[in-house]
Structure 1
């Protein structure tokens, strides 16, 4: 793969990174959003199945003495890889002059290498092997997701972004539900529970790659690739893009709260309610299915109505508040059944939020020729919490531990809920979008 080398006279024109040149052509074919959503589902199935269930099972078997610490280390390093990957590969895909196009190489390459990482996890019998495999999986699968983010911002018309964003958001929950289902069906075989999600990602990414019209980058519209351009992948002109910055912070806070549930729900069932690790996949399947039903309702309804009335902020606020309240309820739940009920409420909020906030973020992108880079930065707000949560959550679990030695899940989810509520309210400060 090679990268563009703009003519010297074009570099000064583009020095601030904010020049608005002709964006990519929109793709109005009916099959395109369907295939985009399926590819998103494939990548998220491969990423969420391990987070929700499979890694907890694997680590509890290979390291029963220090399961929490080892799982936190693995998830933290993997999340760091996702933080590195999405903005970087988004920027690289903006600039790719490969004859296969800008997004296609990252779709296919990400799925293949990510599946290799999952295989490494499946065959490893020690924490270092699982750690290495998960780092590769996160790096590669997030490269594929960066390509999907770029395609969404480039190709989906503005008036359809809420609805398409709704289904892209649903892919998150169905990825979690699918991962729990795979683990439930295949849990005696620790290789297959990691391999099958990777094969699904390869299949759907390959179909999308064959379908899309994907031309190489045009040399005249972007800076030359350099070390400084790598650094720029992770930043943007903050002062001149106030609303983009506010949305980034709001998104970061909401996902920081929600990541506590995504990361620690399996351990909540195991350590708070005494569920056997071999049986926790069934509880996670129930939890994600109930939450997924709520997300389905919230996503389709919220995305459709948001497009219809051409409003974004109110929906983001409502969705984020429901997420925050559901986290507070999880922290107070005395039984798994009440955790399921709180998850249903949070699922509705999550559905509304992820449908509309993606459309809001795409509208606030400062440079339409660098959509991969900026949508990668938007995704950074999702991924950074996955790095911070495994570092911060053990402190809260220890500080809130009971006299009997049970971890302080109540304190963890109280703090998570408050943080998500604060992030929700912050979206009201955005001025350029209603």
Structure 2
């Protein structure tokens, strides 16, 4: 066990609540914008980087990025809990991640060789997930229990709105993807700067360090105990898998399954993003505060069921409207899930003294599907075409809802 002394947080005040909420919202917005834009732009760039097998290159790229993401979010979370500085435990990681992410995106944008793009993407995904680990841990550090749903909804809204803007940005550069990539480092740096300025900087120098040196540090990586924690982990994993199996390949779905050209595909994805934004932002704003009153589970159960339902039209027809129909309920599901998910994660924490580490493990449930989704979707597509992959989305969504039904002791 880690011997820690809690850091004295500033006394609650309206001004502090506003600045924390603004910092988390803007951070979530900026990181999501960059992540969504990078995903589409790299799919578009793959045909020039690896003309012989763009789908295979993108699958390899995202697999390396996902492995780096999981390692980064887990280790950054654990190390963040143990960071001792006059700026606190989280701020150094947010600042360092911003610099690493900007450098990685610059390399991916300006690199001409495939291996440079892979290295840059790995650096970006490591920085993205280290930032997520540190910023998410701010919630149990300073947010009052009665405000968890509200702050969770702001995180979700920032994520969603950033994804919408990132989608439109990518659509504007879809025929010039590397030009689009070269601009994004500025977004990452500005996002990090805003979080560093607005989020609490409470010295952690007075906290006791982990006893036992390196061995003590490694022992602290024992997995959390408690069935509720792991049901939530599994539910998050399956929900993200259901979503990523289709959304990660939206550009390829549009071009290879629906038969659209590059610009037509970019225009369709822009429409899909707009449709998703209408449902997702509305759902995020409403469900977060509402979950403080009626509980988290109804929304986290309903969300993956909507994802499953949204995939049905894609199974039945290869028409552009079917992809839009997926993004419609998918947007509502994504918004509702993200709005209450952060609060649900905090609700099931077994030990808040290692909040960042345990939250990082739960966050890894969102990154792990990135490792397996390309392989699963690729195998299913080879076996029975894209429709079989869409069927996998349905199955994963139903299983995710069943997992949350097993969570007890949390509303």
Q: CA RMSD in A?
A: 2.1
On the 8 A contact 2:5/2:208 being kept in 1, the answer is no
On the 8 A contact 1:78/1:138 being kept in 2, the answer is yes
Give the one of 27, 31, 41 matched to 2:19. 31
Q: For residue 263 of structure 1, report the CA deviation from its aligned partner.
A: 0.9
On the 8 A contact 1:23/1:369 being kept in 2, the answer is no
**Inter-CA distance 225–181: structure 2 relative to 1 (3 Å threshold):** farther
User: What does 1:5-404 correspond to in 2, within 5 Å?
Assistant: 15=1, 22=6, 25=9, 28=13, 29=16, 30-51=18-39, 53-187=40-174, 189-217=176-204, 218-220=206-208, 222-223=210-211, 226=214, 229-230=217-218, 232-233=220-221, 235-238=222-225, 241-309=226-294, 311-400=295-384
Q: For residue 269 of structure 1, report the CA deviation from its aligned partner.
A: 0.1
TM-score, normalized by length of structure 2?
0.92
Quick one: distance in 2 between partners of 1:345 and 1:144? 29
Aligned residues: 406
3-state SS of paired residue (1:125): coil
Q: Which is further off, 197-206 or 112-121?
A: 197-206
**Inter-CA distance 86–147: structure 2 relative to 1 (3 Å threshold):** same
Quick one: distance in 2 between partners of 1:312 and 1:252? 17
**Inter-CA distance 231–307: structure 2 relative to 1 (3 Å threshold):** same
On the 8 A contact 1:45/1:201 being kept in 2, the answer is no
Give the one of 410, 420, 433 matched to 2:387. 410
Q: Which runs of 5+ in 1 are unaligned?
A: 1-14, 401-407
On the 8 A contact 1:24/1:155 being kept in 2, the answer is no
3-state SS of paired residue (1:369): helix
Q: For residue 253 of structure 1, report the CA deviation from its aligned partner.
A: 1.2
Q: Which runs of 5+ in 2 are unaligned?
A: none
**Inter-CA distance 193–372: structure 2 relative to 1 (3 Å threshold):** same
Quick one: distance in 1 between partners of 2:283 and 2:47? 34
On the 8 A contact 1:119/1:191 being kept in 2, the answer is no
On the 8 A contact 2:19/2:199 being kept in 1, the answer is no
Q: Which residue of 2 aligns with 1:5?
A: none
Quick one: distance in 2 between partners of 1:324 and 1:231? 40
Q: For residue 327 of structure 1, report the CA deviation from its aligned partner.
A: 2.5
3-state SS of paired residue (2:395): helix
3-state SS of paired residue (2:249): helix
TM-score, normalized by length of structure 1?
0.88
Q: For residue 186 of structure 1, report the CA deviation from its aligned partner.
A: 3.6
**Inter-CA distance 184–221: structure 2 relative to 1 (3 Å threshold):** same
Q: Which is further off, 409-418 or 274-283?
A: 274-283
